[in-house]
Amino acid sequence: MSAENLWSGRRVRIVDGSSFSMPDTPENQEAYPQPSAQSPGCGFPVARFVTLTSWSTGNVLDADEDALSVHERTLFHRLWHRLMPGDVLLSDRGFCSYADLVTLNKRGVDAVMRLVQNRRVDFRKGRRLGPGDHLVTWPKPAIRPRWLSPEAFDALPEEITLREIRFRIHVAGFRSREITVVTTLLDPVAFPKEALAQLYRDRWFVELDLRHLKISMHMDVLRGKSPDIVRKEFWAHLLAYNLLRGLLADAADHKASVARRLSIKGSLQRLSVYVPQFISSAKESQDNQLTQLLRDIRNDPVPDRPDRVEPRARKRRPKPYPLLTVPRAIAREKIAS
């Protein structure tokens, strides 16, 4: 069975987080204080958010947002009610901890997470399943996480058996050359190492999805001057994104592998052309226009560029203006004087 067929029959969820900024008003600053490293009056309010995304469709299943001082893991805990028994959770190392793995496993949710960087791995220990693949026992930590109550911490088992796998990436341009993943999927026959490695690599989908939300759909800087309007903007962006994902699913005839190849940016550009004509057309013409729109989206997939390598640099030079390091009122006074 191929890796894609193995996971297509399971509900795989991806969790990841990012941030967005907003106008510098007293109300926004109170609800979403700017980063502490910036001087007052020199920065913008910033909010942190976490999304729970479907691996197969790219739709955002749920999300939560809060001030930048709130950790992504805290926001993720608020989304646990959306995870059902039988789900597989895919995440990076920021969500990997003993308490999270145990609690999710008790709920019937399996996890595939990159190993947190402060935990050492020794493949000479544990039960060997293959090269770079073994079962190992994690003991219960001595220090209770702050988000867990003393009663819940005492109820955690003294140890848990997990599977650790390590695979190497030899493609030039990738940031990580060696990756260690921990999972509660312990059967090496039902879940081969190669399939888990490919699944973790697919986690990059959510990074692209968040980039589309923030850049293609302009959610990186919201315009609301009060927290209430900012939250409405945030959820409106997620709603529009899911509607766009539904359009891509229709264009791809609900084939996930095809839908992932369709361009978000290109679809937005086509919608901007079709929508004005669609609104002013008769019902019969609208049906034809919708069919043509889906055909145009389906016939223009993103080129297949496996292991594409591009420099992380910009060709266009920025304007040579210095950064504002004092409040604007003080800067105006200095210029006037």
- The predicted model gives 252-272 an average pLDDT of 87
What is the chain's Cα-based Rg?
Answer: 23
The residues near 319 (Cβ < 8 Å, ≥ 6 apart) are none
Which of 123, 132, 122, 87 lies closest to 107, judged by CA? 87
Percent of the chain with pLDDT over 70: 96
pLDDT at position 71? 93
d(CA 333, CA 301): 54
Structure tokens belonging to residue 49? 């958010």
CB 206 within 8 A of CB 14: yes
Which of 46, 48, 61 lies closest to 15, judged by CA? 61
In terms of average pLDDT, the best of 120-124, 238-242, 320-324 is 238-242
d(CA 134, CA 298): 43
Report the relative pairing of strands 110-114 and 127-130 from DSSP bridges: unpaired
**Domain 8-209 annotated CATH 3.90.1150.10:** no
Percent of the chain with pLDDT over 90: 61
What is the domain partition of the chain in residue ranges?
8-209, 225-298
CA distances from 141 to 108, 152, 158, 251 (A): 22, 13, 9, 49
The residues near 271 (Cβ < 8 Å, ≥ 6 apart) are 244, 247, 293
pLDDT tier at 113 (50, 70, 90 boundaries)?
Answer: very high
- The predicted model gives 154-165 an average pLDDT of 94
- The predicted model gives 234-238 an average pLDDT of 97
Give 27-31 contacts, CB < 8 A, sequence gap 24+: 27/225, 27/226, 27/227, 28/224, 28/225, 28/226, 28/227, 28/230, 30/227, 31/67, 31/227, 31/230
The residues near 311 (Cβ < 8 Å, ≥ 6 apart) are none
